[in-house]
């Protein structure tokens, strides 16, 4: 069976997985060393990316550090009034916290701490991140002020007076979510293809210096969440590096899967659920299942 027919078959199967899980899915999975070997589903469609925006912020930070334009060891003190809402990290603390910029990057990436991400983005500059994305060939990626702007737009689009009320609105299946909530023109947005290109740059040493790229890979290996991409590869001899992203009905993950034989794959899966419940285990798990099906397809192509 030729590759095009195999590819069509696996893409139909993965679309069926998305349908069964009650989501619309977009995907880009490719061999790291041979990016033309890929399984994709609408990979160039621009979507709000949730906390995946923290990956390009991390890359921009590392590139500035390489250029001597930012000191990774510079310490920042974040006061309680500087907290950005979020379920993890500094966002849930009550007192002033002092950390280096580099450690804020670690919290931003490993546990997706929103307060750390906002502090790093302010230090780097949103325009710097956007310019870097264009330089690295990511035309569909815009930061739009990160999580703070996303939350502000969410409150405006839903017409309520608080973030808590806005989040409750988009989580209510009996209400109509305004189109503006998921409009990529006004929130941090990207495409699966763009994010895959960025991951490849990190893994091949093109995004920054070798030491900084090693730092970024190590940080992504330490993400504790395994309910999305990691759920498709639950084996001790498989290493999954990742960054999740969520916003209302959107559930994403971007990462890299390294198999026991040394073969490595970039894997980016974006989804939007038909329901708005905050907990949809099948919508999370299909990200891993779809990525695994794509990786198995690519392995099969290598063997024929």
Rounded Cα distance between 12 and 74, Å, is 50
Two structure tokens written together for 259? 């198999």
- Taking only the tens place, the pLDDT of each residue in 136-150 is 999 999 999 888 888
Segments in the chain below pLDDT 50 = 1-5
User: How high is the pLDDT of residue 50?
Assistant: 94
Given this model, what pLDDT does residue 148 score?
Answer: 86
Domain around 86: 3-303
- CATH code for the domain in which residue 286 is found: 3.40.710.10
pLDDT at site 304: 65
- The count of domains in the chain is 1
The pLDDT value recorded for residue 182 is 87
Radius of gyration over alpha carbons of the chain, in Å?
19
271 touches 18 (CB < 8 A): yes
| Nearest alpha carbon to residue 225 among 242, 210, 213 | 242
């Amino acid at each position: 069976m030729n590759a095009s027919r195999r590819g069509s078959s696996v893409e139909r199967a993965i679309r069926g997985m998305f349908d069964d899980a009650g989501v619309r899915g977009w995907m880009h999975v490719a061999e790291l060393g041979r990016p033309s070997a890929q399984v994709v589903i609408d990979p160039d469609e621009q979507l709000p990316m949730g906390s995946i925006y923290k990956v390009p912020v991390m890359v921009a930070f590392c590139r500035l550090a390489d250029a001597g334009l930012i000191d990774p060891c510079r310490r920042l003190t974040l006061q309680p009034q500087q907290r950005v809402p979020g379920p993890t990290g500094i966002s849930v603390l009550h007192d002033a916290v002092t950390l280096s910029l580099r450690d804020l990057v670690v919290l931003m990436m490993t546990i997706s701490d929103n307060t750390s991400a906002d502090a790093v983005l302010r230090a780097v500059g949103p325009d710097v991140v956007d310019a870097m994305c264009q330089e690295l060939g990511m035309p569909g990626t815009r930061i739009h002020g990160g999580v703070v702007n996303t939350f502000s737009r969410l409150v405006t689009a839903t017409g309520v007076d608080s973030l808590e009320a806005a989040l409750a609105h988009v989580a209510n299946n009996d209400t109509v979510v305004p189109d503006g909530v998921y409009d990529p023109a006004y929130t941090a947005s990207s495409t699966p293809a763009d994010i895959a290109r960025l991951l490849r740059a990190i893994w091949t040493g093109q995004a920054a210096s070798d030491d900084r790229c090693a730092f970024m890979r190590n940080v992504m290996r330490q993400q504790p969440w395994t309910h999305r991409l990691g759920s498709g590869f639950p084996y001790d001899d498989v290493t999954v590096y990742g960054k999740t992203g969520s916003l209302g009905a959107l559930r994403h993950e971007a990462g890299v899967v390294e198999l026991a034989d040394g073969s490595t794959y970039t894997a980016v899966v974006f989804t939007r659920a038909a329901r708005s419940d905050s907990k949809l285990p099948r919508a999370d798990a299909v990200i891993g299942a779809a990525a695994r099906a794509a990786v198995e397809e690519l392995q099969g192509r290598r063997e024929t």
